Structure 1
Amino acid sequence: MTRPLALVTGGARGIGRACAEALAGDGFDIMIADLAEIPPDGLEQAIAKQDGAFVYHACDISDISAHQPLVEATLQKFGRLDCLVNNAGIGAIVRGDLLDLKPENFDHILSVNLRGTVFLSQAVAKAILSSPAGHPKSIVTVTSISAEAASPERPDYCISKAGLSMWVKNLALRLAPEDIGVFEVRPGITRTAMTEGVSAKYDRLIEGGLVPAKRWGEASDVGAAVAGLASGKFAFATGSVVNVDGGLSVPKL
């Protein structure tokens, strides 16, 4: 039997790359979509170590017209599409007083994190529905603890993730009768390029007890969760939110 195929957006580095490597290790072939024209050094070799086939496709998910060519390139190469990992996203362009939030910054974040992801999910879901049977089908969307926890210095980012969380719920209901598992994964304070600029702040907060696990999250923590959800073992839990945050989101007194 052919290996299942996973499409990972924003998969060239960080959490996306960790997801791609974890999925490859679990037997998936990998299509990565990311902004750069060529993949970074070492990415193809990392997937090959897991015996997975690998194709890279340059794509800006905020460009809706780029979605169908991405889907068609995936199907042309692999002949199937079994899993989508919606990971591509951007952080707040400017952190500051929400009363100074600029409409153009708000629009840009939503065009990538929410609008782009919604309509790519739509296009990929149709492709998954038409793909051959034989492997579990899933769509896993990486959001953030900021889908629920407010950060007044970056409300645009929080709004984009909260909107995406509601999209996941609706998509789960639509695809449940089709036996496609739909999940939301919410990383907490995770060591990535997006958090480099505020690492000292979070070092202090973690040291002070903010995260019960007493450490940063790593991209590999998220990758392991995504691969588990894509395995089909949690199919009946469709629509669930999985917090990968070391206990940060657990209410406590």
Structure 2
Amino acid sequence: MTGRVSGKVALITGGASGIGRGCAERLAEEGAIVVITDLQDDKGAELAAAITAKGGKAQYHHHDVTSEEAWIKVAAAIKADHGRLDILVNNAGIGISGSVLDMALSDFQRQVAINLDGVFLGVKHSIPVMRLSGQGGSIINMSSVAGLKGSAILAGYCATKGGVRLFTKAVAMECAGAKDGIRVNSVHPGIIETPIWDSIVGTGEPGDNAHPPRPIVLDAMSQDAVPLGVKGYPLDIANGVLWLASDESRYVTGAELVIDGGLSVK
């Protein structure tokens, strides 16, 4: 531990598994007090306990990111417990693949609710808590390579992640104009070994973001599509999030951090 975010309070949504879990672990290693939220209560509580057992500071809250009432409660709990919020990682998300002609409206709307509405609500209810300290903060919105380029089987997912990209830039300008010291950036992962790929590549139930990934499928996809020829891991994304969360990136706002092994360049 080198304390790159020592003493900072970080909220990570969808933090019980995948990229969110990697971010929670990495920020805790660097001294942050991490507040993990998710719908996977057993995994979330287990992660908070594991971080605490290693000497870190963590707590878990059940949290549906599509519910404004739930966001109000989480923001109030952070204010009551810590008196401040320095880092928000809007990570919770799902991916549902398939032709736009076959996709149910309910599935499209579910993706929008989690991937885009959840980010909006996170920003709306976290900024007031961030402003309490007068020391600014860092908001990191998890987009995707799918927010930069289209995919024939991911129209709904691309729509939400593209929305996150431009929403991030707009909020960055709003905070810059307010001179509140809050920086807002987006992260764009490529093929990362996480549970979300089960639904995207059709190895899980539609809309399911809970099953283990299929490494063999991702390895083959990466060899074919990624210039570096390999898939990424949650730690690869977490290291980028750590940089954006730290004061090392103090002059960065409204930016896109692409972590994809060159996938978006092709």
What residue ranges of structure 1 are gaps of 5+ in the alignment? none
Cα distance per residue 1:70-119 (max 9 Å; x no partner): 00111111121111000001111xx3221222211111110111012112
Aligned to 1:108: 110
Shift of 1:33: 0.9
Shift of 1:64: 1.4
Q: Does 1:190 align with 2:188?
A: no
CA distance in 1, matches of 2:99, 2:198: 21
Shift of 1:139: 0.3
CA distance in 2, matches of 1:174, 1:41: 35
CA distance in 1, matches of 2:60, 2:11: 10
Aligned to 1:165: 165
CA distance in 2, matches of 1:12, 1:205: 25
Shift of 1:49: 5.3
Q: Does 1:241 align with 2:256?
A: yes
Question: In structure 1, what residue type is equivalent to 2:221?
Answer: L
Equivalent runs, 1:109-188 vs 2, <5 Å = 109-131=111-133, 133=135, 137-176=137-176, 177-188=179-190
Shift of 1:52: 2.5
Equivalent runs, 1:1-253 vs 2, <5 Å = 3-40=7-44, 42-48=46-52, 51-92=55-96, 95-131=97-133, 133=135, 137-176=137-176, 177-196=179-198, 198=201, 199=214, 200-208=216-224, 210-251=225-266
Would you say the 8 A contact 1:38–1:56 is kept in 2?
Answer: no
Count of aligned pairs: 245
* Cα distance, 1:248–1:223 mapped onto 2, change above 3 Å: same
Cα distance per residue 1:204-236 (max 9 Å; x no partner): 23223x212221110010011101110021121
Question: In structure 1, what residue type is equivalent to 2:223?
Answer: E
What residue ranges of structure 2 are gaps of 5+ in the alignment? 1-5, 202-213
Shift of 1:131: 2.7
CA distance in 2, matches of 1:193, 1:237: 30
* Cα distance, 1:190–1:124 mapped onto 2, change above 3 Å: same
Identity of aligned residues (%): 34
Aligned to 2:204: none
Would you say the 8 A contact 1:172–1:239 is kept in 2?
Answer: yes
Shift of 1:164: 0.9
CA distance in 2, matches of 1:235, 1:14: 27
CA distance in 1, matches of 2:187, 2:23: 11
Aligned to 2:210: none
CA distance in 2, matches of 1:97, 1:214: 27
Question: In structure 1, what residue type is equivalent to 2:74?
Answer: L
* Cα distance, 1:96–1:213 mapped onto 2, change above 3 Å: same
Would you say the 8 A contact 2:17–2:43 is kept in 1?
Answer: no
Shift of 1:165: 0.8
SS of match in other structure, 2:81: helix
Would you say the 8 A contact 2:187–2:241 is kept in 1?
Answer: yes
Shift of 1:132: 5.3
Would you say the 8 A contact 1:180–1:235 is kept in 2?
Answer: no
Question: In structure 2, what residue type is equivalent to 1:128?
Answer: M
CA distance in 2, matches of 1:249, 1:231: 26
